[in-house]
A and B are shown apart, each in its own frame.
Chain A
Amino acid sequence: MGPSGFIAVLAGWVTTEVGRQPFTVHGLLRTGDSLAPVSAPAVGASLMAFIVVYFFVFGAGTYYILRLMGQRPGAGPHTVDGPTRTAGITPAPQLGREHATPGE
């Protein structure tokens, strides 16, 4: 069931975007008339860049999420000792020092 939420969101979005064609604003502005004067090489280059970056970032993110899901609850190396400032500060490393490579 893991990815079903993602599939639902993407399916809804695709339905909206495809369903409103050929209009950008229904009945008022056609998609072909709403193009920005950006040249094709610029659009192509930015699309490629976003694909590469998203695969890299989402790939890493998915890997970290799956690894987190693979850990048993409460199996982490940390214990709560007293009040902690939580909001906004970056999380503590989720690997303890015992995983550190020699020399660190």
Chain B
Amino acid sequence: MEFDLAFIWAGLIAFAVLTYVILDGFDLGVGILFPLAGSETDRDTAMNSVAPVWDGNETWLVLGGGGLFAVFPLAYAVVMPALYMPITLMLLGLVFRGVAFEFRWKTRKWKPVWDVAFVGGSVLAALCQGIALGALVQGIEVADRAYAGGWWDWLTPFSALTGVAVVTGYALLGATWLVMKTEGSLQHRMRRTAWPLGLATLGFMGLVSLATPFLEPVYFARWFNLPGSLFSLVMPGLVLAAAWALFTGLSEGREARPFLAALSLFVLGFVGIGISFYPMMVPPEMTIWQAAAPRSSLAFALVGALILVPIILAYTGYAYWVFRGKVRPGDGYH
């Protein structure tokens, strides 16, 4: 391990992507679960529970993508053409669910249309993020510092599996978020829904974890040789601990614990991918250091990041503090 600017930047990008996944994950999850929320009042409440924070959550996607462009231009130039289709579809999904937050309240006749836009956009965005993840994990064909594959290479049984896995996992985050943020019939309904979603998420995590080592010899060597095989003992144990916290939290009627446990599952999944990848940025061959921009660019951009990231963290924390507590039916502004 080499602790230099490229390594610090890889850590920052990883932090931004993880923060995006867990934050936008729960608000996309609320969108995915929208049809299961019950009455119109409960659906309005579910949407209002994420309305103050969802667009702030997407800041981290911009930071991750923009940061990648600035400091790992080679990775950006290879990954974007390789994932052109899923990323374009993801953006279109985000467009529909984003406008649904506003337009849904401007009309009665068309409210069902924007409901469909909210649900469809959320599912599409989550599915495409999962597919993009799978396509990256299975490796991207590079020749002469450019993407060398076709425009359908991203679609394989493995990427379809990760796509469905991410939709399920986001739905679990959404359900446990609503358990924490709402009361009454909606909370009750979501507590019941979180059970099968939790089991399905664990099942998908197991499937993806079992399939990954057989995609690339380097992954296999990482997980089944020392010192990496130590992780093969530790990680499943931590996942089971998080699962225990999730299900006991649900059955004991805890408010926040299921959500925190679901977040932990995502952090563990992300760490697992990091263990597979390191020191690669774009598997199977491009390392963090090969993908990095010149030293001067890394240093220049790091100054900005070290000022801005704490500010973003501070106002994000403040926003969640302001909107802490339960969301009640009818909360909205005039």
Interface set of A (CB-CB < 8 Å, partner B): 36-39, 41-42, 46, 49-50, 53, 57, 60-61, 64, 67-68, 78-80, 84-95, 99-101, 104
Contact = CB atoms under 8 A, between A and B. Distances in A.
Contact of B151 (A38, A89, A95, A99): A38
B103 interface: yes
B247 interface: no
Nearest to A77: B334
Contact of B51 (A37, A68, A88): A88
Contacts of A91: 102, 105-106, 332-333
Q: Which of B146, B323, B333 has the most CB of A within 10 A?
A: B333
15 contacts: A36-B81, A36-B84, A37-B147, A49-B88, A61-B99, A84-B334, A89-B52, A89-B331, A89-B332, A89-B333, A90-B101, A91-B332, A92-B105, A92-B333, A93-B108
B264 to A, nearest CB: 27
B260 interface: no
B48 interface: yes
Interface residues of B, number: 37
B53 interface: yes
Contact of A88 (B53, B106, B151): B53
A16 to B, nearest CB: 20
Contacts of A92: 105, 332-334
B251 to A, nearest CB: 32
B95 A53 contact: yes
Contacts, number: 91
B113 to A, nearest CB: 9
B92 A53 contact: yes
Contact of A100 (B101, B108, B331): B108
Interface string B16-46: 0000000000000000000000000000000
Given A37-B146, A41-B151, A87-B52, A64 B107 contact: yes
Q: Which of A37, A42, A79 has the most CB of B within 10 A?
A: A37
Given A42-B84, A89-B332, A90-B332, A60 B105 contact: no
Interface in B96-138: 96, 99, 101-110
Contacts of B12: none
Contact of A90 (B48, B95, B322, B323): B48
Interface in B67-111: 77, 80-81, 84-85, 88, 92, 95-96, 99, 101-110
B165 interface: no
A85 B108 contact: no
Contacts of A87: 52, 322
Contacts of A57: 95-96, 99
Contact of A86 (B47, B103, B106, B333): B333
Contacts of B96: 53, 57
B227 interface: no
B150 interface: yes
Contacts of B311: none
